[in-house]
Structure 1
């Protein structure tokens, strides 16, 4: 397209030059006494006519290709879009097949992971992973933390600090709290493990 446009512009410039030369020759002050004036005039007119024909031809070719390209643009866009969708579909199908083949392995590895979050996890599966007791880790730790605070006013009713409860949940999920730990050592008040225990039981 660029070459066709350049050809048209060159033809246009040649026509303008031929037209200028013809007009200058026609308006010469010595045209009446100039030898072979008529013959030279016809030559310039022929040159201008040829340039005009060349310009018209270049314009028609350029216009034809432009219209052709415009008419094909929709088809090209549709093909490219279809190709994009096809490749996307192929990619995600490949990913799906890969994940499907790996799911049993992933599930097995997750099931065998001792640090699977306790909250929201199947109670029987969680307890089966504990070697020394059948009590769920969050229940055991929360009860141990509450052993000396059963007379606390509003226990299991007063809401604790939301941030501290989230922290205790995270620690219980990671099973990082020792059985001998105390509320003072962990910097919790009794309402934190009490509310956390309620949350754990709700999520079973």
Structure 2
């Protein structure tokens, strides 16, 4: 009877909404995909701003884990893409810092996603003196990401996109086709669908060039 009473007290003391790192991560990932691929363009910046606040809380809940930092950085960088201007520069610098911290904690977290995200930042943001863009660093980070997750949709897509920007069309096609053939990710169906549309757009661009 005493054991039952103690169990009841513990159950009542635990919020029914208490989650785990995995469930909290899945919620952030799903909401990011919804905003990125379903929310109208004019509403995306505000939606990403709200998600960035949620991601900040997620990071505070798990200060010793790399995954929340990676996903806060992803949210910040995509928000920056929608926001534009000087405010975007602050966001991408913050994103870079979060990714660098994630690498220090666990560089293999989420199959090396911090390397993928850092690589994509380095080739997409302007270079000096406006920002920190660096094509050589981008290549190194993206190749490291591929070494950790050679069949993943994201590292192959971003390396293919990087190569396309560099004018390496034959190699770009190779990695984009590999990205298109990447295995589906459980729970990431919407993200996979949206990413494949981006891959097809890049391949169509290559076919016209």
Normalising by structure 1, what TM-score?
Answer: 0.19
Higher Cα Rg, which structure: 1
Normalising by structure 2, what TM-score?
Answer: 0.19
Which structure dedicates a bigger proportion of its chain to helix?
2
